[in-house]
Structure 1
Amino acid sequence: MLLVVGVAVAVAVVWVLGPGAKWWLVHVDGVKVGGKDGLAGKDLADALDTVRGRAMALGTGLLAAVAIYYTASNATSARRSAHAAIEGVEAARRSAEATEEAQLRTFELTQAGQRQSEEVQRRTFELTQAGQRQSEVAQRRTHELTEQGQRTDRFTAAVAQLGDASPAIQLGGVYALAGVADDSPTREFRQNCIDVLCAYLRLPYDPYPGDRPADGQDLAEHAEALKGYRAARQVRHTVIRIIGDHLREGAAVSWQGHALDFTDVVFDGVDLHEAVFDGGTVSFRGVTFLDTTSFTGVRFERGTVDFSRARFGGDKADFGDASFKGGTVDFTGVAFERGEVTFSRSRFMGATVSFVEARFDCSVSYSAAHFEAGTVAFSQARFDGGTVAFSSTSFTGSTVDFGAASFADGCVTFSQARLKGGTVCLRGASFEGGRVILGDTLIEGGTLDLGSAQVMAGTLDFLDTQFNGGTADFRSIGFKGGTTNFNRAWFGDSEVDFTDAKFGDGTVEFALATGRRPRGLPDDLAAHLS
């Protein structure tokens, strides 16, 4: 409609500006044109221009009104469009928010579902794992019970073989039991096997029947007895060999540190050379050692080894190069009855070793042994025969106690021994016979204590001894008999004290002795010393 009005106005204005101006002047303005009284010429032209001006102004105004109206219409339409656009944007926003909320809710539900699914999976996995573990435990337990049953069966069968009357079957039992011990998964079960082997050695057996039949004995009977003895001896020695092999370094399975109970066993020959007794308790209490006994190079470290009341009655007992380090080794009341016993080059370091009340009736050698720290006790020991040698032995920071020992016969020698710190105690010892040699001994610090000792017979010899530091205590010693020899002794920086010594019927000699005169000597004895 607005377009039609605009077109009509435009046509009218164009018409008035053209030929319609005159019509408008005549018919609208009522002006007479032409003739006698009408406008003509310039006046008519001016009037027409005026009409045209008014038409132009009217057209312009109408066009402006149309433009205004059109503009207003457009503005309204634009406002409606903008409002519609705003509403569309708002609707889109609300839709987006709704969509986002729906997506968020969907995501949350999805996450919750995933968590529930994961929880179900985790729980299922845990239940599966728990089931597997229970199954594995059950399988392991079944396996363990099976193995335990097999071990028990093997153990029982081996013990049965060991108890058989046939030595050949017994040998098989020994090896079988050692194999069960080696395969044992626990220390306790292995100990059970070792205990059985030791118990076998403790069983009594028929003594050696001799190389020849006894008077009136049937030859066949003697031959059978000798055969049986040798077969049983082979079994016993196999047990000892197997135990020794497991106690040495480099054993495939070590039995070191296990308890070994040989109490009251009669060993007719034993070889435990280079065995290591490291921790644990080992008992040789009351054992009788016959034939040849070898502890050469054995290491006694920590733990307790008990030789108390043992008897050494064989040809030789060898502890040469043995090491006594820490722990306790007990030879209390041991009897060295015959043959040769040697501790040569042995090392006593920080251990407590007791030979208390031991009896030495044969030759025993501690030559070149080394005593360092620790305590070795020979108190109340009795030396009744043979030679007990501490030659070239060194005493460094240890205590070696011969207190109240009895030297009745034979020879005990400390020749060329070295005392460097520590104490060698002979306090209260009695010298009843034989010869005790401390000659050529070097005392460099430490204490040599013979206080209250009694020299009643035999010879106490300090020939060429050097008292060079430390203390030599002879206080209250009694020289009741025999000979005590300090000839060529050198009294250097040591504190040598004879205070309250009793010089009776014995002979005490200081011929050619040099150095400082010991304290407490009678005026008529060693007067040449300064």
Structure 2
Amino acid sequence: MLTLLVSLVKGPPLAAEELHALEVGISFRSRRQASQGRYTPNLWPVWVVAPIALIVTGVVGWLIYEYAYDHFTEAAARQRPPKPADINDVLKATVTGLTLIGAVLAGLYAYRKQLLTEGDAHRADASQLADRYTTAAEQLGHEQAAVRLAGVYAMASLADDWSEQRQVCIDVLCAYLRMPYASEASDPLHRSGEQEVRQTIIRVIRGHLQDPDLPSAWCSYDFNFAGAVFDGGSLSTSHFQGVTSFFGSTFIGGSFSFRGATFAGTVNFGRVTFDGGKVNFANGRFTDGTVSFIRTRFLSGTVGFRTARFEGAVVDFGRVTFEGGGVDFSGAAFSAGAVDFRNAEFRAGTIDLHGARFDGAAVFFSRATFTGSSVSFLGAAISGSTVYFHDAAFTGGEVTFADVGYFRGDVLFNSASFGGTLIDWGPLLPPANA
């Protein structure tokens, strides 16, 4: 089943008809595999089994009788005066042995019968789950938005009940978000009620990412939103513990919230476009693992990381373009790990790092370009960290390091260039070429 979903996980967005056809094929294969799970074994004919059973019983009985006879004969011979073996005791021992063997065989037969019964039950469950999958998939591909909404809830409910294929159900919901989408009614790709369907999927996913300890939680599963278009929604306070990809996705208009979300493991925001609206990562936690924003474009609108915590993670903003919009890292905490802005381009935007805390993290602005931008480190605290501006280029705009406090840390500007930029160095020692 998972082989058929490669295009859902890694491929380009699918049309509704293609998704529907693929899901039906997956469902058919699921049911076929379920029917091939366990079969009732072929039994030998009675006219063969009965004589063999009689012969085996006779041989076993004779062996038990011989063993019992020898045992009782030896025991009787040791008595004083010696006595002959009691044949009744020998027969009783033989019957008792055969009865015990029969009881064990009966128990094995009952156990085997129970296994077959459970196999039937499992096949019935698998068939029922496959039928539910087919129904949910058909609903997701329906023309009417109300039916598609029902399909969203049906697929989510199935994911809760079908732990073996939960990732498959999640992949289908993510694939729906990756399909072509247009919010404007004049666009040929526009579908009536589609925004509500997509918002519902986001709400359903968020609802399953709130408590990692719940049996039905989806926190440890993978989410592939690559290439999706988001025009609002919320994944706030969610826990992402698997592989999460927003690679190439677009956030346009509206407001999208990751407020208080926890990102662990591998998180990819590479080549994402933040264009208009507001995307909020405030109070988010980026722990362990790797978080990549490489080649992401921050255009108009605001992206907020206010009071976010980057704890031990490697956060890569390499080759990111900040153009015209605002990026707010005020009060953010960078502890351990590394934050990399190498080769980033800051153009006519606002980058706010006032009050940020750099505690043991290595921060790289090497070869970054600041053109007509407003960059603020006002009141930032640098403790045990080194902030690198090697080969950075400042052209126009304003940069302030006022009230920066640093202890056992350093801010380095080796080979940096400053052309017409108004810089408030605060307590920092300006480089010779500033």
Residue 180 (structure 2) pairs with residue 204 (structure 1): yes
TM-score (norm 1): 0.64
Establish whether residue 134 from structure 1 lines up as the match of residue 124 from structure 2. no
Q: 1:462 aligns with which of 385, 403, 425?
A: 425
Partner amino acid, structure 2, of 1:416:
G
Aligned length: 355
CA contact (8 A) 1:440 1:462 kept: no
Residues 429 and 118 (structure 1), Cα distance of their counterparts in 2 relative to 1, 3 Å cut: farther
For residues 452 and 152 of structure 1, do their structure 2 counterparts lie closer, same or farther at Cα, with a shift above 3 Å needed? same
Measured in 1, the distance between the counterparts of 2:243 and 2:170 equals 13
State the alpha-carbon separation in 2 of the partners of residues 111 and 388 from structure 1: 98
Aligned match for 2:137, one of 151, 154, 159: 159
Aligned to 2:204: 242
Matched-pair contact (CA < 8 Å) for 2:183–2:195: no
Q: 2: distance between equivalents of 1:358 and 1:244?
A: 27
1:121 maps onto 2:99 in alignment: yes
Counterpart position of 2:230: 267
Partner of 1:231: 193
Superposed CA RMSD in Å reads 2.3
Q: 1:190 maps to which residue?
A: 166
Q: Report the alpha carbon displacement of residue 98 of structure 1 after superposing the two structures with TM.
A: 8.2
Paired with 1:307 and 1:114, the residues of 2 have a C-alpha distance of 80
Match of 2:58 in 1: none
- Alignment partners' CA distance in 2, 1:159 and 1:449: 56
The alignment status of 1:399 with 2:362, answered yes or no, reads: yes
Partner of 1:355: 317
**Which residue matches 1:366?**
329
Alignment-derived partner of residue 347 in structure 2: 384
Residues 200 and 134 of structure 1, relative CA distance in 2, 3 Å threshold: same
Q: CA–CA distance in 2 between the matches of 1:372 and 1:270?
A: 29
In structure 1, how many angstroms separate the alpha carbons of the residues matched to 2:338 and 2:78?
96
| Shift of residue 110, structure 1, vs aligned partner | 5.7
- Asked whether 1:101 is paired with 2:63, we answer no
| Residues 1:168 and 2:149 aligned together | no
1:275 alignment partner AA: S
Range that drifts further, 346-355 or 111-120: 111-120
Q: What SS is found at the alignment partner of 1:436? A: strand
CA distance 1:165–1:116, shift in 2 (3 Å): same
Query: Which one-letter code corresponds to 1:266 in the other structure?
Result: V
* Aligned partner of residue 180 in structure 2, secondary structure: coil
Contact persistence 1:293–1:314 (CA under 8 A): no
1:341 equivalent in structure 2:
303
1:43 corresponds to: none
CA distance in 2, matches of 1:338, 1:171: 32
For structure 2, which runs of at least 5 residues remain unmatched after alignment? 1-76
Q: What is the one-letter code of the residue matched to 1:160?
A: E
Map Cα deviations across residues 374-404 of structure 1 (whole Å, 9 max, x no partner). Answer: 0110111111022101101111111111111
SS class of match (1:198): helix
Percent identity between the two aligned chains: 34
Distance 1:390 1:294 in 2: 20
CA contact (8 A) 1:363 1:385 kept: no
SS in 2 for 1:233: helix
Displacement of 1:447 after TM fit?
A: 2.4
Q: CA deviation at 1:101?
A: 2.9
Higher RCO structure, 1 or 2 (CA under 8 Å, sep 6+): 2
CA distance in structure 2 between the aligned counterparts of 1:349 and 1:305, rounded to whole angstroms: 14
Corresponding residue for residue 329 of structure 1: 291
Residue 360 of structure 1 aligns to a residue whose secondary structure is strand
Give the equivalent residue in structure 2 for 1:424. Answer: 387
Read off the aligned partner of 1:166 and give its amino acid letter: Q
Distance 2:380 2:79 in 1: 109
Query: What displacement does 1:460 show?
Result: 2.5
Contact 1:384 1:409 (8 Å CA) reproduced? yes
- Equivalent pair of 2:330/2:354 in contact (CA under 8 Å): yes
Take 1:416 and 1:158, find their aligned partners in 2: how far apart are those partners? Answer: 54
| 1:284-323 paired onto structure 2 within 5 Å | 284-290=246-252, 291-301=254-264, 303-323=265-285
Output the TM-score relative to the length of structure 2: 0.77
Deviation at 1:203, TM superposition (A): 1.1
Per-residue CA deviation, residues 347-385 of structure 1 (Å, 9 max, x unaligned), is 111001111011112111111111100011011111102
Q: Which residue of 2 aligns with 1:88?
A: none
CA distance in 2, matches of 1:113, 1:393: 92
Distance in 2, Cα, partners of 1:261 & 1:416: 38
Change (3 A) 1:432 1:142: same
1:434 touches 1:458 (CA, 8 Å); kept in 2?
Answer: yes
Q: Does the CA contact (< 8 Å) of 2:181 and 2:229 recur in 1?
A: no
Q: Is the 8 A contact 2:369 2:394 kept in 1?
A: yes
Distance 1:153 1:369, change over 3 A: same
Instruction: State which of 435, 450, 453 in structure 1 corresponds to 2:413.
Output: 450
Aligned partner of residue 371 in structure 1, secondary structure = strand
Q: 1:101 to 1:368 in 2, by over 3 A?
A: same
Amino acid at match of 2:292: D
Shift of 1:207: 3.7
Q: Secondary structure at the match of 1:169?
A: helix
Question: Partner of 1:177 in structure 2?
Answer: 155
2:70 equivalent in structure 1: none
Residues 112/230 of structure 1: CA separation in 2 closer, same or farther (3 Å cut)? same
TM superposition shift of 1:251: 5.6
SS of the residue corresponding to residue 155 of structure 1 reads helix
Partners of 1:376 and 1:296 lie apart in 2 by 20
* CA–CA separation in structure 2 for the residues paired with 1:185 and 1:410: 50
C-alpha distance 423-97 of structure 1, shift in aligned 2 (>3 A) = closer
SS in 1 for 2:342: coil
Q: Aligned runs of 1:45-84 on 2, under 5 Å? A: none
Unaligned 5+ segments in structure 1 are: 1-95, 211-221, 473-485, 487-497, 509-530
| Higher mean C-alpha displacement, 263-272 vs 229-238 | 229-238
